[in-house]
Amino acid sequence: MTPAAGSAFNTSVAGADDLIRLHLSESPHGASKAALQAAERELARVNVYPDPERQELVRALATHWGVGPEHIAVANGSDELVLATALTLGDRNLPGLVTDGTFPGYRACLELLGRGCAAVPAAGTAVDVAGFAARLPGHGIGYLCNPHNPSGAALTRQELGALVDVCGRSGVPLVFDEAYMEFAGPDVPQTRDLTAAGDAPVVALRTFSKAYGLAALRVGYAVGRPDLIAGLRGTLRALPFSVNRLAQAAAIAALGDPDFVDGVRRSTAERRRWFVGELDRRGRAHLPSVTNFVAVAARDCARAQDRLAADFGILVRNAGLFGFPGYLRTSLGEKEDLERFLDALDEIEQNP
């Protein structure tokens, strides 16, 4: 099929299977067999509504995190939790705070709800963590993506600690979107490592769409203080059946197969090392990443994104459209697809 050019998300071809899909940080590793079998078993019961309270999955996640079930809320993708947090948490008379150059869902939800949205400018190609921490008091809610999309960088322990600290002191709820955390190794700090995060109004968002490879089934969850989680669950009750039977069963089975996710993490790290080596060999700059995507420097990214799609059938994201001008973001897909992407990009730049 011929893709339409020009959109940030390549939305007109988002469902296309005959193109090289490197634009949505999808996993090339598929999902755990146990998860797929669990989903398939549920096909026999498609006439039966799913559990609106998602209890078995909540319990499985609570065990996985070593917390009580009152710390967990499950939703239809972490997208739904971005909306639920914006609907539920913090002072709605004050604008939300985001960083310039981040996942666009936070601003979209805040603005949709009329909450207003202020943004802390990026410091070059990094999130201005000190600037964000300084500005959080006086806002209704904050959103930070860690590891960061589209740069791929993770916060340091000191940065994370400082943010949790200001959140605790100011009482302004802070949502850490950890959609890509499963790809980061054990050295990368996460909110669950910080005991202080238990007291502060911090919510971590996770998803089964990335490392677990279940993007089509749509399961995300929030981990946080019970009072905040109770609020989120209350909001989510407006859509009691939004997490379907196949999704709940697959997510439970996926949690029961930790070797699969460990394998995905290892092979993603290996693929990342190879890809970064390939970029260095070709003299192409890139941003350091701990995730399953890399921001690759390119000239005239809007045009490059369009030509990659139209002439080569390769979908990547123009990171400039969400705050990182001069970079195309590619998922760490199959090696041959990544090679095709780099060859095509070289060709486009040599024949502008």
Residue with tokens 């193109």: 19
Distance CA 19, CA 214 (A): 20
Stretch that binds ligand PMP, among 13-21, 77-85, 193-201, 311-319 (CB under 6 A): 77-85
* Cβ 251 to ligand PMP shortest distance, Å: 11
Judged by CB under 6 A, does residue 101 bind ligand PMP?
no
* Cβ 179 to ligand PMP shortest distance, Å: 4
Judged by CB under 6 A, does residue 149 bind ligand PMP?
yes
Q: Are 320 and 326 in contact (CB under 8 A)?
A: yes
Report the residue number, 145 or 319, with the smaller CB distance to ligand PMP: 145
The amino acid at residue 51 is D
Applying CB under 6 A, among 103, 176, 260, 341 the residue interacting with ligand PMP is 103
Residues 6+ away with beta carbon under 8 Å from 333:
20, 21, 22, 26, 28
* Cβ 280 to ligand PMP shortest distance, Å: 26
Report the greatest alpha carbon distance in the chain. Answer: 58
Applying CB under 6 A, among 27, 58, 79, 249 the residue interacting with ligand PMP is 79
* Cβ 163 to ligand PMP shortest distance, Å: 17
Size of the site for ligand PMP (CB under 6 A): 13
Applying CB under 6 A, among 118, 215, 279, 310 the residue interacting with ligand PMP is 215
Residue with the CB atom nearest ligand PMP in the bound state: 77
Report the residue number, 153 or 348, with the smaller CB distance to ligand PMP: 153
Report the residue number, 143 or 341, with the smaller CB distance to ligand PMP: 143
* Cβ 207 to ligand PMP shortest distance, Å: 3
Applying CB under 6 A, among 151, 209, 244, 318 the residue interacting with ligand PMP is 209
Distance CA 81, CA 69 (A): 17
Distance CA 209, CA 218 (A): 7
Judged by CB under 6 A, does residue 191 bind ligand PMP?
no
Report the residue number, 315 or 344, with the smaller CB distance to ligand PMP: 315
Cis peptide before 352 (omega within 30 of 0): no
Distance CA 331, CA 349 (A): 20
Closest to 73 measured CA to CA, from 173, 215, 219: 219
The amino acid at residue 272 is R
> Scanning residues 2 to 61, which ones bind ligand PMP (CB under 6 A)?
25
Rounded to the nearest 10 degrees, the angle between the axes of helix 335-350 and helix 301-312 is: 120
Neighbours of 30 (CB within 10 A): 12
Report the residue number, 149 or 308, with the smaller CB distance to ligand PMP: 149
Tokens matching residue 222? 């929030």
Distance CA 144, CA 140 (A): 14
Residues of this chain that interact with ligand PMP (CB under 6 A) are 25, 77-79, 103, 145, 149, 177, 179, 207, 209, 215, 220
